[in-house]
Amino acid sequence: MAVTYWTGENLTLRAIQPEDIVIFDSLDDEILRNMDSLHFPRSANNMREWVEEQLEKDEFRFIAVDSDNNIVGIIETFDCDRKNGTFGYYLAVFEPYRGKGFAKEMILMVLRFFFLELAYQKVNTTVYSFNNPSIRLHEKLGFMKEGQLRKIIFTKGAYYDGFCFGMTREEFELNHG
């Protein structure tokens, strides 16, 4: 069986399709808070238009599916700056799949592509202070905590900080060869 670049040990990353509207409509509040995307309810038509708009942009958006084709999460890159070689990402792993290594695999697949195929030199991401599992994961992956943005998100009735994490291509190659 042939192995593709977008197939890892436990999951495959694929492009978002218009029929994926049901995924975005069903995201729970905790995932949306972590993505800074908790919104008023949207109609199916508005969601469909949003998904179609996303398909037209240059930035990469992936749906992660396991070997049984269950959707385990999403990962999206943004602020892709070829001149300076920097980019960011955010991800969400759905509740039944958390704590099983899917987030790590999703991140490493995207970093490998951006660093080794597109020649980007640095990734930046922000993790909210209430998301301890994500903070631990980024530290374990070798990201450097580069700063703290105080009270940048209001959710669940309080303001929370954002921790800025970064990793260079050299650090990626050293830690993940």
Q: Model confidence over 133-164: pLDDT tens digits?
A: 999 999 999 999 999 999 999 988 999 999 99
Going along the chain from its start, the domains and CATH numbers come out as: 11-176 (3.40.630.30)
- The DSSP call for residue 21 is H
Give pTM, 2 decimals. 0.82
Q: Which two tokens stand for residue 8?
A: 């890892």
Termini Cα distance of the chain: 24
- Residue 101 scores a pLDDT above 90: yes
- Among residues 148, 117, 158, 168, the alpha carbon closest in space to that of 33 is found at 158
Q: Please report the pLDDT score of residue 44 as a whole number.
A: 67
Q: Tell how strand 71-81 and strand 86-93 pair up.
A: antiparallel
User: pLDDT tens, 14-51?
Assistant: 988 777 766 665 655 555 545 544 455 666 677 667 66
Phi/psi for 148 (5° steps) reads -140, 125
Collect all residues with Cβ–Cβ distance below 8 Å to 5 and sequence separation of at least 6: 113, 117
The residue assigned the tokens 């704590």 is 99
